[in-house]
Amino acid sequence: MSLVGRTDKELIKDIQNQEDSLVFGEFGSAIALKIGLDLAARAQKAQLPIAIDVTLSGQCLFHTAMPGATPDNAQWILRKNRVVERFHHSSLYMGALCRDAGTTLEQKYMLPPNTFAAFGGAFPIVLKSVGVVGTITVSGLPQVQDHDLVVQSIAAYLNSASEHS
């Protein structure tokens, strides 16, 4: 389900549901590669100019830039990832939460905008019984589309994994 066109209140509720349901039983290099390659294949098919990153416990396990992506996309990824690492929520969730409260991440938490970006595209890797251990991030599209692409890929992986277990 795409979140394009949703209000901030709807985004907060819908993204919380996504974060609660898109939980991994395990996560490592092989899974990072599968998800990263899936995102790259989706981007290639639709000719999306995005950068893709999968980071686990501070270590980049997958990173690529598709045709049309720029070095700036890698910087956006770092800034979005810091939001997830700090708040354990997706970067789109935090942006919607702040907008709904009539503030910004910078104002509410006194965080520098050149270091943190509460714009969609970074989604937490959540391990069952552990919590947030990393991020899966896309940069290059409008923020809700970045978020939707990541969620679609995670959901596809988890659905496939459950079919094979």
Report if residue 3 sits inside a domain: no
Q: What is the pLDDT of residue 64?
A: 98
CATH number, domain containing residue 107: 3.30.450.150
**Residue linked to tokens 């390659």:** 37
Is 2 inside a domain boundary?
no
Domain count, the chain: 1
**Domain hosting residue 127, numbered range:** 8-163
Residue 155 lies in a domain: yes
Q: What is the DSSP string of 145-165?
A: HHHHHHHHHHHHHHHHHHHT-
Would you write out the chain's pLDDT as a tens digit for each of its 165 residues? 789 889 999 999 999 999 999 999 999 999 999 999 999 999 999 999 999 999 999 999 999 999 999 999 999 999 999 999 999 999 999 999 999 999 999 999 999 999 999 999 999 999 999 999 999 999 999 999 999 999 999 999 999 987 766
Q: Are strands 51-56 and 122-127 parallel, antiparallel or unpaired?
A: unpaired
